């Protein structure tokens, strides 16, 4: 949040809120702290006519890893943030997911309470979803990553609740990287080769 006061470049069309504020190792903000800073995000977004994307959340794990030890799930974090941020503008909901199968991704986004699961789904917020980070976790092979990608992308492309998505391609998950020294990896070639409907 040290750069929250910086002006946005002219022509910015979207502003993504805090990155994993519910993680101590990331933005480290309670829902109430994020809500207190949100008006500044709105001011900057409105100055350039940009749409606003919620804080990007995921399960933060154990209570000791979470910015608010009483809130370990992303659904509750977003509910608490929105309750504390009465009247705040949020055009999209941003989420992250690092599980390696399509059914868990579907349940995470759409919920599975009706089927006896414990995932509430982000469709409950009534906003288009940005899956700003997704891949298998670091324990999976490149082949696992590719199989998951080839299952997940067609689902995401067809899902009317999903506005945008982005594969996570960074050093912490080496087998998920799409590029290597500026060139596409085999996984990167698979990703760009999948059918997509770019607006």
Kind of pairing between the strands at 179-180 and 183-184: antiparallel
Buried/exposed code over 76-114 (b: 16+ C-beta within 10 A; e: otherwise): bbbbbbbebbeebebbbbbbbbbbbebeebbbbbbbbee
Phi, psi of 173 (to 5 degrees): -125, 80
Q: Is 48 helix (H, G, I), strand (E, B) or coil?
A: helix
CA distance 178 to 168: 9
Phi, psi of 31 (to 5 degrees): -55, -35
For the chain, give the percent of residues with pLDDT over 90: 87
In contact, 142 and 186? CB cutoff 8 Å: yes
- 5 pLDDT band, cuts 50/70/90, is low
DSSP state of 27: T
pTM over 0.85: yes
- Write the pLDDT tens digit of every residue in 75-121: 999 999 999 998 899 999 999 999 999 999 999 999 999 999 999 99
């Amino acid at each position: 949040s040290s750069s929250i006061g910086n002006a946005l470049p002219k022509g910015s069309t979207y502003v993504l809120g805090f990155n994993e504020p519910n993680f101590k190792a990331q933005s480290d903000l309670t829902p109430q702290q994020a809500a207190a800073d949100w008006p500044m995000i709105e001011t900057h977004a409105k100055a350039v006519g940009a749409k606003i994307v919620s804080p990007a959340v995921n399960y933060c794990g154990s209570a000791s890893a979470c910015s608010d030890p009483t809130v370990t799930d992303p659904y509750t974090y977003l509910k608490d943030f929105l309750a504390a941020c009465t009247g705040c503008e949020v055009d999209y909901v941003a989420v992250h997911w690092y599980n390696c199968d399509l059914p868990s991704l579907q349940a995470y986004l759409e919920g599975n309470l009706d089927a006896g699961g414990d995932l509430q789904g982000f469709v409950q917020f009534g906003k288009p979803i940005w899956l700003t980070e997704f891949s298998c976790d670091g324990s999976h092979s490149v082949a696992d990553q590719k199989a998951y990608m080839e299952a997940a992308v067609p689902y995401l492309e067809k899902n009317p609740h999903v506005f945008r998505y982005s594969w996570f391609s960074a050093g912490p998950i080496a087998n998920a990287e799409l590029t290597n020294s500026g060139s596409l990896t085999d996984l990167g070639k698979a990703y760009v080769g999948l059918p997509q409907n770019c607006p």
